[in-house]
C-alpha cells in the first residue's frame, strides 16, 4: 500500500535558521507529492506540490524536490520566521486516485525569536 | 481563502448522545471528504463523496455516517457517541479533476465524556 513517513517533531529553531523536514514515501507507480501546512487553530492548506520526478515545488520561500531515486520529498526553507510555526504534513496521491491523499504523521515546527 | 465551513468548532457531550457535525462549501466542488485527526496529529480518511448521492467509506473504519443530498453540504453523524470518538474532525473539498489540492475547513473538535 501507499505510505508517507515524516521526521518526528517538534522541530525547534531560532528565527533565520535553515529548515529541513524529511519526508519519504512508499507507493506504486509515479505518485504526485504535496506539502500541506496547518497553522494553529486553522485547517490544512496546500503549501506546494510536485507531480513528476525531479520537479521542484516552491511557495512562500519553501521548496521541495521530488526525488524518485530516494523516494523522498524533503521540505526546506533557507531562513525561517516566527510566523512559520505550524504543523507540516507531507502527502502523496497515486495518479489514478483522483484527489485521494495519504498523509504523513505531521511535523510540528516551532520558531523562536 | 477557502470557503468551507464547519460547525460546531468545539463540542463537549455525554456518552450515548447523537451528534451531527456540519460541513458546507460554497465553491461548487464535487468531491468532499471527512478526515479524523488524532491527538498525534495523524490524519485518517473516514468518508468521501464524489457528488450528490455518492458516499464511500475511507481507509479508517468509523462508526459515523455521512450523507450528500446537496452539493454544498456533507454532514457527519454519530448516532451514539462514545469516549473513543473524541477527536478532531476535518472536512475538505476539491474540484472534480485531479489537482491534489484539498480545501479544508477549520475542524470540529469533539470531546465525549
| pLDDT for the residue A98 | 67
| Mean pLDDT of all residues belonging to chain B | 92
Q: How far apart are CA A11 and CA A19, in angstroms?
A: 9
Instruction: Tell me the per-residue pLDDT of B13-46, one tens digit each, with 9 for 90 and over.
Output: 999 999 999 999 999 999 999 999 987 788 899 9
Give the residue from A83, A97, A76 showing the smallest Cα distance to A23. Answer: A76
All cell numbers assigned to B74: 456533507
Asked if B43 and A46 come within 8 Å (Cβ–Cβ), the reply is no
Q: Does A81 touch chain B (CB under 8 A)?
A: no
Helix or strand holding residue A76 (H, E): strand A75-77
Instruction: Tell me the per-residue pLDDT of A4-52, one tens digit each, with 9 for 90 and over.
Output: 999 888 999 999 999 999 999 999 888 999 999 999 888 899 999 999 9
| pLDDT for the residue A9 | 87
| Contacting residues of B for A108, CB less than 8 Å apart | 41
Amino acid at each position: 500500500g501507499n505510505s508517507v513517513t515524516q521526521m518526528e517533531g517538534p522541530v525547534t529553531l531560532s528565527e533565520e535558521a535553515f529548515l529541513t523536514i524529511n519526508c519519504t514515501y512508499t507507493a506504486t507507480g509515479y505518485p504526485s507529492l504535496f506539502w500541506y501546512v496547518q497553522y494553529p487553530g486553522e485547517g490544512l492548506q496546500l503549501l506546494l506540490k510536485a507531480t513528476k520526478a525531479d520537479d521542484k515545488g516552491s511557495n512562500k520561500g519553501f521548496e521541495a524536490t521530488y526525488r524518485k531515486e530516494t523516494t523522498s520529498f524533503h521540505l526546506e526553507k533557507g531562513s525561517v520566521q516566527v510566523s512559520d510555526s505550524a504543523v507540516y504534513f507531507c502527502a502523496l496521491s497515486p495518479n489514478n486516485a483522483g484527489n485521494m491523499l495519504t498523509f504523513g504523521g505531521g511535523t510540528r515546527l516551532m520558531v523562536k525569536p | 481563502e477557502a470557503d468551507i465551513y464547519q460547525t460546531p468548532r468545539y463540542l463537549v457531550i455525554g456518552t450515548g448522545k447523537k451528534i451531527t457535525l456540519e460541513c458546507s462549501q460554497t465553491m461548487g466542488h464535487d468531491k468532499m471528504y471527512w478526515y479524523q485527526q488524532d491527538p498525534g496529529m495523524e490524519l485518517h480518511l473516514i468518508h468521501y463523496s464524489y457528488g450528490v448521492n455518492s458516499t464511500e467509506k475511507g481507509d479508517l473504519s468509523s462508526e459515523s455516517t455521512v450523507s450528500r443530498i446537496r452539493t454544498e453540504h456533507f454532514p457527519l453523524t454519530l448516532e451514539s457517541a462514545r469516549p473513543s470518538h473524541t477527536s478532531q474532525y476535518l472536512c475538505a473539498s476539491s474540484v472534480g479533476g485531479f489537482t491534489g489540492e484539498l480545501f479544508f475547513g477549520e475542524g470540529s473538535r469533539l470531546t465525549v465524556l
